[in-house]
Chains A and B, each alone.
Chain A
Amino acid sequence: MSNIIETDLHAYADGQLDDARRLQVEAHLAHDPAAAESVHVWREQNEALRALYNPVLNEPVPQRLLALRASRRRWPSYALAAGAMGLSFALGWMAQSYRTDPIVEAAALPRRAAVAYAVYAPEVRHPVEVGADQQEHLVKWLSKRLGSELKAPVLTQQGFDLVGGRLLPGGKGPVAQFMYQDARGQRITLYVSLRDAEPRDTAFRFSQEEKVSVFYWIDGKLGYALSGEMDRASLLAVATVVYRQINP
């Protein structure tokens, strides 16, 4: 047996070994259940830490961090000016880019929602599994499958009628999609997915996924995304109503 020390087990759990050593550790773990259990626990710790703190990545950056103030007199003023300009430029750019970071769990939400929108919104014959004529059944069914009390917002004042809904596969289990349509046949969808991270609320976020605009937010253990092929302002008006109805 190659001499595996605890450091190797940590490095194995953290994915920091090269292939050769990794195989040796794996061979060792097969015969050492206590070590295997430790590795398992450490990996769970890593995952739990990420589940708990990853949502911070998606929070809006507080203003005070965006504008490191010129009132701090420690720096020469030219450096300050250059720094502040560069920083505000950078932050504007960053605000666009960091949300699409693949490691950010919540950032996947608008993308998945936009894809689901793009697949089902153009569907003529079967846009939904259960139609609005069975609304009560629809909501009960989707609530049951997600294990959480869902609501289908009423958007008639905004010109949108409920078409129905469907159940979709998601990364963390089933996802509910409600579809609405206005008099011109324009459709929007509300995508509701379960999150397995610590319940935590976020403000509205906007994401442009090619042609599809998405407003999304997290409310406790549910992530919501409202998608439509419309401009940001029009969609925001509807998203605001949806948000208020879900959080009266």
Chain B
Amino acid sequence: MDSAAIAEHIPRLRRYARALAGDSHRADDLVQDTLERALAKFHLWRHGSDLRAWMFSIMHNVFINQLKARREFALDEASEASLEAPPQSDPLQLRDLDAALRCLPAEQREVLLLVGLEQLSYAEASQALDVPIGTVMSRLSRGRERLRVLMSGTGLAEANSATNLKVVK
């Protein structure tokens, strides 16, 4: 049932990949590479651990490698300011959500999607992305704020002034 267990995750991997990569062809390339790696490395998976989180971690590595290959991964916070909001139209339309996601740095998009779309726990997301949980939270915070601003069409100045995790009260 090894590969059966993997195959069971294909629809979810495709959903995540579509949101991550945008274009459906590119997304399925991502899924295909992920499946190949998962099958080849299945003996490395620890029985009893969460297979889904493991699959997402493989997809994360494949995704990052693809971005690097396309030289799109100069995505630290400093580069965010140069990103521009998509043309403003009906701000709350779903199709704009897809466009807005493209405007997020890949690392924020990953966290936002793993948590918001795939409903991974923060611990699982941290495991899948191989970063500390605090990093997950700060990326989530910045990603959500940025997405909010993009979707409300108020531009990025506000997004960039958003501060990191802070005590609310």
Seen from chain A, the residues whose Cβ lies within 8 Å of a Cβ on chain B are: 1, 3-7, 9-11, 14, 16, 28, 32, 35, 41-42, 45-46, 48-54, 56-59, 61-62, 64-65, 68, 72, 74-75, 79, 83, 86-87, 89-91, 93-94, 97-98, 101, 197-198
From A1, A45, A57, A198, residue with most partner B Cβ within 10 Å: A45
Question: Closest residue to B27 on the A side, CB-wise?
Answer: A56
**Closest Cβ of chain B: how far from A60's Cβ, in Å?**
10
Can you report 14 residue pairs joining A to B where beta carbons are below 8 Å apart? A6-B168, A14-B116, A46-B115, A51-B94, A52-B94, A52-B97, A56-B14, A57-B12, A64-B32, A65-B31, A68-B32, A72-B36, A75-B39, A87-B39
State how many angstroms separate the Cβ of A165 from the closest Cβ of chain B: 30
Cβ-based interface call for B88 (8 A): no
Partner of A50, one of B95, B117, B151, B167: B117
| A53–B147 touching, CB < 8 Å | no
User: Per a CB cutoff under 8 Å, which of B1, B4, B117 touches A46?
Assistant: B117
Tell me the count of chain B residues lying within 8 A, CB to CB, of chain A. 47
A65 touches B10 (CB 8 A): yes
Helix, strand, loop or mixed for chain A's interface?
helix
Known contacts A62-B28, A68-B32; decide if A57 and B40 are in contact (CB<8 Å).
no
Q: How far is the CA of A10 from the CA of B140 in the complex (A)?
A: 8
Q: Least Cβ distance of B130 to chain A in Å? A: 20
Q: Known contacts A52-B97, A75-B40; is A6 also within 8 Å of B4 by CB?
A: no
- Is B144 a contact of A87 with CB atoms below 8 Å? no
Are B169 and A28 in contact, with the CB atoms below 8 A?
Answer: yes
The answer to the question of B52 belonging to the interface, with a C-beta cut-off of 8 Å to chain A, is no
Cβ of B113 within 8 Å of any chain A Cβ, yes or no, is yes
Q: A65-B35, A94-B10 in contact; A14/B94 too (CB < 8 A)? A: no
A contact residues around B67 at 8 Å (CB): none
Please determine whether B166 and A6 come into contact, CB atoms closer than 8 angstroms.
yes
Q: Nearest Cβ distance between residue A185 and chain B, in whole angstroms? A: 39
